[in-house]
Amino acid sequence: MTHRIAVIPGDGIGIEVIAEAVRVLEWVGGVELHHLPWSAEHYLATGQTIPPDGYDTLRSFDAVLVGALGDPRVPDNRHARDILLGTRFELDLYVNQRPVRLLDERLCPLKGRTRDEVDFVVFRENTEGLYVGIGGRFKPGTDDEVAVQEEINTFKGVNRIVRHAFAFARSRGLRRVCMADKSNAMTHGHALWQRVFDEVRAEYADVEASHLYIDALSMFLVQDPGRFDVIVTNNLFGDIITDIGGALQGGLGMAASGNIHPGRTSMFEPVHGSAPPLAGKNVANPIGAILSVALMLETLGRVDDATRVERAVASAVQANEVTADIGGHLGTRDAGEAVVRRLL
């Protein structure tokens, strides 16, 4: 079976890490890859962030693989808004699945943590919250400026992500689901999260459901990450805590993610951005991108291929055949090669 995959390397280190992820994907096989040039470079050259039929083009693929979008030459981040956030919204990719898994104890910045203590998954709501872009600026640039950015929480949106988190926990035999919000301060929007969480948890008596305010959850992520199996939270909080999750795995370069609508074309990308200071230097860690390929294969139903890629990555990490950010001495390309060699 061949899957058709759209590949958008994007900007900065996105280009370098995707080259390695693509090499892994080609070794695994069973894919037909189509590169799309959408990026800051393309926008600056053509004035177009994404073509008018861009989202339809993406929908025609089985999955999409993205590097990163962000370039100092596009200060308003317009192209990232259209390409990345636009795809999340237009393809209704409501599940942002961000696994946090420590591959070697030496990589964890916390003292004495074992691999099984840092092994959980964050489900970030990915289609609403503070990201919807509703709001505006009144009298901008003056001392009277008023800036409004609305947070949208809908029953449909909250219900589907909370249900997804519980269903995932049950299907994987994971014991605990923790929902994090800020319902003590955001007494309207997050009251909806409370209501939905209470309704859904009642249907999952086999899963241990708990709630933490997002500030306390951030503290526990650092102090006692072993208490988590599945975390579900809103768009912005999920964005922030998954950078902490990246750090727990050794650094942002390790973290993978999927933007998923179950059963439909979904988009996979490392959690990190384009890291302009590192771009073009062959130093970026490709593992987050490669593990995003594994998550893509798993989501496409190719669990054996996904496991093969994950094992190759874990073996390269354990042999310290990795980039300098996680203590190795290899460049991006050789670190990719170290994974590819282990797929044979």
**Residues binding ligand NAD (CB under 6 A):** 13, 17, 68-70, 77, 80, 84, 251-253, 269, 272-278, 284-285, 288, 325
User: Please, which of residues 300-339 interact with ligand IPM by CB under 6 A?
Assistant: none
Residue 181 bears catalytic tag:
no
Q: Are 315 and 321 in contact (CB under 8 A)?
A: no
Smallest distance from the beta carbon of 266 to ligand IPM, in angstroms? 14
Q: Are 252 and 272 in contact (CB under 8 A)?
A: yes
Q: Taking phi first (over 0 means left), then psi (-120 to 50 degrees means alpha), and beta for anything else, what does residue 16 get?
A: alpha
Among ligand NAD, ligand IPM, Mn ion, none, partner that 277 touches (CB below 5 to 8 angstroms by kind)? ligand NAD
Sign of CA pseudo-dihedral 63, 67, 70, 71: negative
Instruction: Write the CB contacts of 131 (distance below 8 Å, at least 6 apart in sequence).
Output: 85, 235, 236
Cβ nearer to ligand IPM, comparing 84 with 294: 84
271 touches ligand IPM by CB under 6 A: yes
Residue 131 bears catalytic tag:
yes
Cβ nearer to ligand IPM, comparing 100 with 314: 100
Of residues 118, 135, 158, the one with CA closest to residue 238: 158
Residue 119 bears catalytic tag:
no
Buried b (16+ CB within 10 A) or exposed e, 112-126: ebeeebbbbbbbbbb
Instruction: Write the CB contacts of 55 (distance below 8 Å, at least 6 apart in sequence).
Output: 86, 87, 90, 91
Cβ nearer to ligand NAD, comparing 30 with 109: 109
239 touches Mn ion by CB under 5 A: yes
DSSP 8-state code for residue 91 = T
Residue nearest to ligand IPM (CB): 239
Residue nearest to Mn ion (CB): 239
- How far, in Å, are 9, 55, 113, 320, 338 from residue 323 at the CA level? 20, 34, 22, 8, 10
Smallest distance from the beta carbon of 75 to Mn ion, in angstroms? 18
With CB under 5 A as the rule, give the number of residues binding Mn ion: 1
3-state helix, strand, coil in the chain (%, to 5): 45, 20, 35
**Element (DSSP H or E) covering residue 97:** strand 95-101
239 touches ligand IPM by CB under 6 A: yes
Residue 215 bears catalytic tag:
yes
Among ligand NAD, Mn ion, ligand IPM, none, partner that 192 touches (CB below 5 to 8 angstroms by kind)? none
Structure token pair of residue 1: 């079976």
Stretch that binds ligand IPM, among 78-86, 132-140, 169-177, 285-293 (CB under 6 A): 78-86
Cβ nearer to ligand IPM, comparing 27 with 55: 55
Catalytic residue set:
131, 182, 215, 239, 243
Give contact residues for ligand IPM (rule: CB under 6 A).
70, 80, 84-85, 239, 271, 273
Give contact residues for Mn ion (rule: CB under 5 A).
239
